[in-house]
Amino acid sequence: MDLFSSIDLGPVQDRISELSKLIDHYNYEYYMNDRSLISDFEFDALLRELVDLERQYPELASPNSPSKRVGGEINKSFRQVTHRFPMLSLGNTYSIEEIEEFEARTRRLIGEVPFTYTCELKYDGVAIGLTYRHGQLVQAVTRGNGAVGDDITSNARTIKTIPLRLRGEYPDDFEARGEVVYPFEAFNQMNAQREVDGLEPFANPRNAASGSLKLQDSSECAKRKLMFCMYFMMLPDGEMRPAYETHSGRLDSAASMGFKVQPHIKECKDINEIKAFIDYWDTERWNLPYAVDGIVIKVNQTPLWDQLGMTAKSPRWAIAYKFKAQQASTPLESVSFQVGRTGVVTPVANLTPVWLGGTTVRRATLNNADFIASLDIREGDHLLVEKGGEIIPKIVGVDMQYRQPNARPIAYAATCPECGAALVRAEGETGYYCPNRELCPPQRVGMLEHFVSRKAMDIDSLGTERLELLYNSGLVRTVADLYDLRAEQLIGLGVEGQATIQAKGADNILSAISKSKEVPFERVLFALGIRLVGEVGAKKLARYFSNIDALMQASIEEIAQVDDMGEKTAIIIHDYFANPDHLLLIERLRAAGLQFVAEDRTISSRLAGLTFVVSGVFSSFSREEVKAHIESHGGKVSSSLSSKTSYLLAGEKMGPEKLKKAEKLGIKIISEQEYLDMVGQE
């Protein structure tokens, strides 16, 4: 008899169901109704209990368990799925006249039957379709080309406003369509963090939403605070009931199933009501917490949809009106220059304040020297400022009617406004930067931010504000100063009129700093902020040199031997360690107890004294893994073939050039299997 089948899993199953229901309920109240019914601590305890039970009894874990909200699944690539119902787009227009024509045509085609329209917001995000069967979310697919999209189900499960299991009454089988948007507040927070982490910020919330849905690790997507707004219910034949005979009725039903549907939908009976709705939202949209780029007008009575039919690409029963970007012309009073955390200098236009899209615009970025040149902005010009679907106003041109004869070009700053250093323009780059990394205040704070960031030393109790506080108070000028901090220096620290650091806060800061002493060498190396040494580069250097002393003593040629480390980077690294200030810094960090030696990953010394060049694709390892494997057995890996190479380890699809060169140099070529035999591994 199967031993396990005799264990009664009933009580476990019951507890899992109970926990799931409770968590679903608290999530719903929190994300849909803005109501916190229990403390974070209690909520986490419930979730942890559920996760533990599901880990212990995986056969009882449902794919729609609320534990899936935190993600954890990895998508190597996204499966392509054919939409059951093609995902159509709507005809769209910027012209009110065309909306009038749409309305008149619709009325003519429908004839005598009474009907209405719904007007609703057109979200500026990413369209997705969610399939529900028996009340369970089974699949989430992006629009793709309308016929075929990407299966993003595991990422969609992490979006709190997407119900995983429906409540109340629902059709047995249907598709919910809507838009995934990135609310401004969450978007701005995420972008600010990206800059601190040295990552390229997203251009706008739509791109960020789209990028987030394509993240390979769904737990990363879970952190993104995306929102789903449902705007359409696609019903197969046979699922019809009276409530679904109007579009507004379908959305009301969807809301009772647990979907977030927009509250700003309005039933309109004629063109005047439609126009009033459009007018209202043309300005009111700026007060919404997410981007809206137009209004969608649909015939409300769904049985009329079939009667109206389709044009080649889009339904005849709906149309989208797109808001025009709002524009204003205002005098340029002056240009100031801002130095960012990385030293890049950004020119900013100081404008005569002008009312635009619900806010007063006083300043707008001029991006860089090339931007100013390409728009030919001169002193005394009036500039055209535009606000499109996003919140940040853009300079789009010069209002030439105000151009003064002999207007002088903008004088670009020659020195850094923060530290006075002469600005530098790197060849081929669009802007200037301040080269004084070591002494320029915003750059110093930037270095501190980088040092404490998550992927570096991960000292999360020190945010930007606190770092600025520590820097401005003179307590922390270099990263090594962090390790000398004492509680009595921190307590009471603060900006006038704002909260100061209390004993508990000081304690948290000091314990996070102290904990960072365990961070492995590769991340310490990354944290140093050596130019062009990113997370991956630091890892490679740490693996190759094993400790800081070997790296500090290495020549440019030796550093350039490290995989993918170009000559330019090698010179920068070498220069970094030639600077006595840096050597002092490293000695202080070492004395503080930071890790400057890589963890020993040695498994054997079978390959000691041998140098390998690795090329091609392998069946049991990635390229990085092969290299790590060779090193863990005491071998060395080099990127180019030379007389010092002992073996060329050849995978599949290796280039013929390498092969030829190896043969010419008389280097022994071995296959993956021969290599595994060599280290004595299956």
The site for ligand IVH (CB under 6 A) is made up of: 88-90, 92, 120-123, 127, 179, 231-232, 296, 315, 318, 320
- Spatial separation of the C-alpha atoms in residues 296 and 322, rounded to whole Å: 9
CB of 265 to ligand IVH, least distance (A): 8
CB 470, CB 378: distance < 8 Å: no
Q: What are phi and psi of 534, to 5 degrees?
A: -85, -170
What's the start-to-end Cα distance of the chain, in Å? 35
Q: How far is the CB of 210 from ligand IVH (least distance, A)?
A: 12
- Residue 174 corresponds to which tokens in the numbers above? 């249907």
Q: Which two tokens stand for residue 285?
A: 């949209």
Residue 320 or 469: the one with the smaller Cβ distance to ligand IVH is 320
Nearest alpha-carbon partner for 652 in 676, 616, 626: 616
Nearest to ligand IVH of 120, 418 (CB atom):
120
User: In terms of CB distance, is 264 or 515 closer to ligand IVH?
Assistant: 264
User: Rounded to the nearest whole angstrom, what is the least distance from the CB of residue 143 to ligand IVH in the complex?
Assistant: 6
Q: Of 231, 248, 357, 349, whose CA–CA distance to 299 is shortest?
A: 248
In the bound state with ligand IVH, the residue whose beta carbon lies nearer, of 226 and 366, is 226
Q: What are the beta bridge partners of residue 292?
A: 123
Q: Give the nearest distance from C-beta 122 to ligand IVH in angstroms.
A: 4
Active site residue 394: no
Please say which residue, 265 or 467, places its beta carbon nearer to ligand IVH: 265
Non-local (6+) Cβ contacts of 111 within 8 A are none
User: 302 or 436, CB closer to ligand IVH?
Assistant: 302
Residue 530 tokens read as 């050596």
In the complex with ligand IVH, which residue's Cβ is closer, 249 or 463?
249
H/E segment holding residue 505:
helix 503-515
Residues in the chain: 682
Separation between Cα atoms, residue 259 and residue 262, nearest integer Å: 10
Phi, psi of 299 (to 5 degrees): -70, 130
Closest approach of Cβ 123 to ligand IVH, in Å?
4
Distant-in-sequence, close-in-space partners of 498: CB < 8 Å, separation ≥ 6: none
Closer to ligand IVH at the Cβ: 91 or 340? Answer: 91
Token look-up 């809301």 returns 255
Catalytic residue among 122, 260, 387, 539: 122
* Distance of closest approach, residue 292 Cβ to ligand IVH, in angstroms: 8
User: Contact 487/475 with Cβ under 8 angstroms?
Assistant: no
Task: For 329-347, give the secondary structure using H, E and C.
Answer: EEEEEEEEEEECCCCEEEE
**How many angstroms from the chain centroid is the CA of residue 615?**
33
Q: Spell out where 250-291 has E strands.
A: 266-268
In the bound state, the residue with its beta carbon closest to ligand IVH is 127
3-state secondary structure string, 185-251? HHHHHHHHHHHHCCCCCCCCHHHHHHHHHCCCEHHHHHCCCCEEEEEEEECCCCCCCHHHHEHHHHH
The pair of three-digit structure tokens given for residue 407, joined into one six-digit string:
């207007």
Radius of gyration of the chain (CA): 31
Q: Which is nearer to ligand IVH, 122 or 382 (CB)?
A: 122
Beta pairing, strands 326-339 & 345-356: antiparallel
The least distance separating ligand IVH from the CB of residue 282, rounded to whole angstroms, comes to 16
Location of structure tokens 């330019």: 568
Instruction: Considering the complex, state which of residue 123 and residue 618 has its C-beta at the smaller distance from ligand IVH.
Output: 123
Least distance to ligand IVH, CB of residue 88, Å: 5
Q: Is 62 exposed, middle or buried (0-12, 13-18, 19+ CB in 10 A)?
A: middle
Q: Are strands 432-433 and 394-398 parallel, antiparallel or unpaired?
A: unpaired
> How near is the Cβ of 209 to ligand IVH at its closest, in Å?
11
Query: CB of residue 178 vs ligand IVH: minimum separation in angstroms?
Result: 8
What is the distance between the alpha carbons of residues 44 and 49, in angstroms, rounded to a whole number?
Answer: 8
Catalytic residues: 122
